[in-house]
Amino acid sequence: MASMTQYLVLLALSVVLTFIVGRLLVRAGEPFLQEVFHDEKVTRSVNLLLSVLFHLVTLGVLAIISVTDVPADNDLQGFVVKLGVVLLTLGIAYGISMLVLIRVRERRRAAEISEHVQERLADRGINSNPTPPDQPLGEPGRQ
């Protein structure tokens, strides 16, 4: 009966920790997404979709971990090892999620900078595209 109690405690603790970390991810990710999308409805929608993805993937991995046998000398050691794996899984999932948000923000910034440079060059009358728009690349111009 002790192993069943430990199983239930591990499962409950894993679910609670997953939802706490998921909530932190939603809070931490919102400013990144707001900067990228500039629209509150889109930001909330994408944040919700990412949150659902985080929860589904993490809970799926945790369900698999909870039924996996861990070689240990006693039940308590097995419980601690599984809890450690749960915490590592949550940390890795959180880190990957934040890295994705940072990368999305960086790409958006790069696109905005490129657009701004193109506009400035156009304002000065400089053609930033060396190929005429009606001429495909690789074909020499006819004179």
pLDDT of residue 62: 83
Q: Residue 106 above 50 pLDDT?
A: yes
Q: What pLDDT digit, counting tens, does each position of 50-93 carry?
A: 889 889 988 888 888 888 888 888 878 888 888 888 889 888 88
Phi-psi region of 38 (alpha: psi -120 to 50; beta: other; left: phi over 0): left
Residue type, 11: L
Q: What pLDDT digit, counting tens, does each position of 5-61 carry?
A: 888 888 888 889 989 988 988 898 888 788 888 888 988 998 898 889 889 988 888
Would you list the domain boundaries of the chain?
2-121
Q: Residue 135 above 80 pLDDT?
A: no
Tokens matching residue 4: 């069943």
Is residue 141 classed as helix, strand or coil in its secondary structure?
Answer: coil
Beta strands in the chain (DSSP E): none
Q: How far apart (Å, rounded) are the C-alpha atoms in residues 75 and 18?
A: 23
- Residue with the bigger pLDDT between 90 and 135: it is 90
- Residue with the bigger pLDDT between 14 and 2: it is 14
Q: How far apart (Å, rounded) are the C-alpha atoms in residues 129 and 31?
A: 34
**CA geometry: angle 136, 137, 138, nearest 5 deg:** 115
Give this prediction's pTM. 0.65
Q: How far apart (Å, rounded) are the C-alpha atoms in residues 58 and 11?
A: 12
Tokens matching residue 2: 């002790």
**Pair 83, 18: CB distance under 8 Å:** no
pLDDT of residue 143: 46
Q: How far apart (Å, rounded) are the C-alpha atoms in residues 124 and 101?
A: 35
